[in-house]
Amino acid sequence: MNPELHIDLASIRAAQARIRAIAHRTRVMTSRSFNAEAGLAAFFKCENFQRGGSFKIRGASNFIFSLSREELEHGIVTYSSGNHAQAVAIAAEAAGARATIVMPHDAPRSKVEATRAHGATIVTYDRYRESREAIGRKIAEETGAVLVPPYDHPWTIAGQGTTALELVEDIPDLDALLAPVGGGGLLAGCSIAAKSLHPSIRLFGAEPELANDTYLSFEAGRRIEIPVPTTIADGLRATQPGEITFPILQEHIEGILLVSEEEIKEAVKFFFSRLKIVVEPSGAVAAAAVLFRRLPPGVERAGIILSGGNVDLELLATF
Amino acid sequence: MNPELHIDLASIRAAQARIRAIAHRTRVMTSRSFNAEAGLAAFFKCENFQRGGSFKIRGASNFIFSLSREELEHGIVTYSSGNHAQAVAIAAEAAGARATIVMPHDAPRSKVEATRAHGATIVTYDRYRESREAIGRKIAEETGAVLVPPYDHPWTIAGQGTTALELVEDIPDLDALLAPVGGGGLLAGCSIAAKSLHPSIRLFGAEPELANDTYLSFEAGRRIEIPVPTTIADGLRATQPGEITFPILQEHIEGILLVSEEEIKEAVKFFFSRLKIVVEPSGAVAAAAVLFRRLPPGVERAGIILSGGNVDLELLATF
């Protein structure tokens, strides 16, 4: 394998150096009221405060900043339900590359607008009828643009892993770490970083019950594909775990915790009313799993990734 | 005058030591998108992350922790539109004193619930027909409880002044500082702290156009009383500046900046969608004045107090 495609602590540290100029080192928050409800000490890695409003800037900028000047000149293209789109638009702008983003027609308005604000060209598609991968590949073939994978690439995964690198550096005595799982890029990268620094740490993913492709894949021992999920957690609507991410998760993860739509909404409202921070539904899924006590016994200090904060006020008001 | 009733840097530092166990040292946030809109560098003192969701814990706990054991045994009583109520309930609980809180019947639900959660007894009144001061005084007379003034007392003012003490310590090269004005306790305390540490700093208050009692009082050169304001900034519905706070403001403040209801709502939404933090309407009034460029020329680095974050999601959704 190309050594650049191998993911280990060194590649995650290299990613950290590469993305430093564009990605924030986000803060870790705590909440006595959350701890009282959850029955443990929680440490929230606030990627809702990240550039572009989610962790996605880490993987997108690590990928784009790893491209050659020649590759960047042909522009870049990607597909995304929203947060990866914004992240690619920001990183492409910083790298001076033209960006074309394929977004579902029903993506949250705030995400579409924020993506366009960074100069990207938006192409929409029907999430339930068309293949975004096919549209993205077609544009790449026609224009020579490089396709930026949302999760299933070592550079993307290494970039996302910087999230856990920072969290474990800041809070070294965690006994568990949790992240939401869509395609699995965030959790795969974080699991490599966390286990490298802290081999005894316990790792968990969290998924909506309505988007349980990784949960089912764990049960089956192989990648299971489900119909396009309808969960309110719009960032976690992947239909199956990635080819590269899934074996990494199998190696490191203790289990996938499931939460209901109502529990996700309750967690979002908890962050709003008690911590006074805005967390989007996808970003609150791991926290919901802890708040509603889905962790097995023995966890006293849990690191929880709040993966994003891009949610329309109008949607939140319906919770 | 009783030396304990004089307010200077020493009394504000003493307050800081007294309240350390209960009040957070809140963080200072910045936002490149806010700066781009406002045309200056803004430094937000995040009292929306404070215990009880607002700066009020500072003044309330400084007052209550200054009482004798004997005074505390008779309990304490106060009146408040909400944030001072929660603050008094938390500080009284910490001091082991019974608390009775007189709250308007139309106070935000979240504020009433949070106050009750700290064991306080709630007495409601009609904001447009009854005098909360009279009800509070009656309870104090009947029970021997000590009345905790929401703003017009040196201990309260010194406690609120710790907000600016921290902000100016953290960001020493501000050229202006702004705070919202209700009764004036926050701005009075902050003006003494800021001018003591940094004599050339320019100080401004901000009020809703619909609650412009301090603005009118500045114009008249004396305290002017207005009818009960109907502004959405429910924490700023005082009808006149305080007897003690007003002369302090006259000595230190360059001016009162006015903002419309629509501008307050826009600022709240800006914090929600761009900074991913929850700021209540009252808490966003000073930021609205900067966002909508009400500052006179010459200010390049502005410290802005976000005074609270207690707002019902249902209300925010109507903005």
The single residue listed with the structure tokens 């310590």 is B169
Cα–Cα nearest to A237, from A196, A187, A181, A277: A181
Region of residue A205 (left: phi > 0; alpha: psi -120 to 50; beta: else):
beta
Q: Give me the residue from B49, B273, B278 closest to A272, CB to CB.
A: B278
Nearest residue on chain A to B111, judged by CA atoms?
A273
CA gap B12, A100 in Å, rounded: 56
pLDDT interval class at A4 (50, 70, 90): low
| Residue, of B128 and B277, whose pLDDT is higher | B277
The 10s digit of each residue's pLDDT in A34-60 is 999 999 999 999 999 999 999 999 999
- pLDDT given for residue A1 in this prediction: 43
Report whether pLDDT(B110) > 80.
no
Q: Do A316 and B317 touch (CB under 8 A)?
A: yes
**Per-chain mean pLDDT for chain A:** 95
Least confident among A116-125, A171-180, B284-293: A116-125
**For residues A202 and B94, what is the distance between their CA atoms, to the nearest angstrom?**
37
pTM of the model: 0.94
- Write out pLDDT tens, residues A94-109: 999 999 999 988 887 7
Share of chain A above pLDDT 70, in %: 98
Catalytic residue among B45, B56, B195, B265: B56
Closest CA to B231 of B267, B207, B195, B254: B207
User: Which one of B29, B273, B282, B307 would you mutate to disrupt binding with A, by most A Cβ within 10 Å of its Cβ?
Assistant: B273
The average pLDDT across A72-81 equals: 91
Closest partner residue to A277 (CB to CB) among B110, B276, B313 is B276
At residue A184, the 3 state secondary structure works out as coil
B118-122, B205-209, B250-254, range with the lowest pLDDT: B118-122
Q: Are B130 and B159 within 8 A, CB to CB?
A: no
B49 touches chain A (CB under 8 A): yes
Question: Span A168-195, mean pLDDT?
Answer: 97
Phi, psi of B158 (to 5 degrees): -60, -40
**What value does the mean pLDDT take over residues A156-177?**
97
Would the pLDDT of B1 be above 50?
Answer: no
The pLDDT score that the predictor gives to residue B111 is: 77
With a CB cutoff of 8 Å and minimum separation 6, the contacts of B178 are: B203, B204, B205, B206, B257, B286, B289, B290, B295, B302, B303, B304, B305
Query: What is the residue-averaged pLDDT of chain B?
Result: 95
CA distance A174 to chain B (A): 23
Chain A within 8 Å of B23 (Cβ-Cβ)? no
Angstrom CA distances, B16 to B25, B150, B309, stand at 10, 18, 22
Please work out, in degrees rounded to the nearest 5, the angle formed at the alpha carbon of residue A67 by the alpha carbons of A61 and A72: 95
| Per-residue pLDDT tens over the stretch A208-267 | 999 999 999 999 999 999 999 999 999 999 999 999 999 999 999 999 999 999 999 999
Number of neighbours of residue A71 by Cβ within 10 angstroms = 15
A118 phi and psi angles, rounded to 5 deg: -95, 20
Q: Does B314 touch chain A (CB under 8 A)?
A: yes
Residues of A assigned a catalytic role? 56, 307
Angle, vertex CA A97, rays to CA A238 and CA A13, nearest 5: 65
pLDDT tens-digit map of B223-232: 999 999 999 9
Is the pLDDT at B3 greater than 60? The verdict is: no
* B313 shares contact with chain A (CB less than 8 Å): yes
Confidence band (pLDDT; 50, 70, 90) for B264? very high
- pLDDT, tens digit, 9 for 90 and up, residues B127-171: 888 888 899 999 999 999 999 999 999 999 999 999 999 999 999
Is B319 close to A309, i.e. CB distance below 8 A?
no
Q: Is B191 a catalytic residue?
A: no
Report the helix count and the strand count for chain A, using DSSP H and E: 14, 10
On whether the CB atoms of residues A313 and A272 are closer than 8 A, the answer is no
A313 vs B273: CB contact, 8 Å cut-off?
Answer: yes
Chain B neighbors of A279, CB-CB under 8 A: 276
For the stretch A293-318, pLDDT in tens is: 999 999 999 999 999 999 999 899 89
Are A317 and B319 an interchain contact pair (Cβ–Cβ within 8 Å)?
no
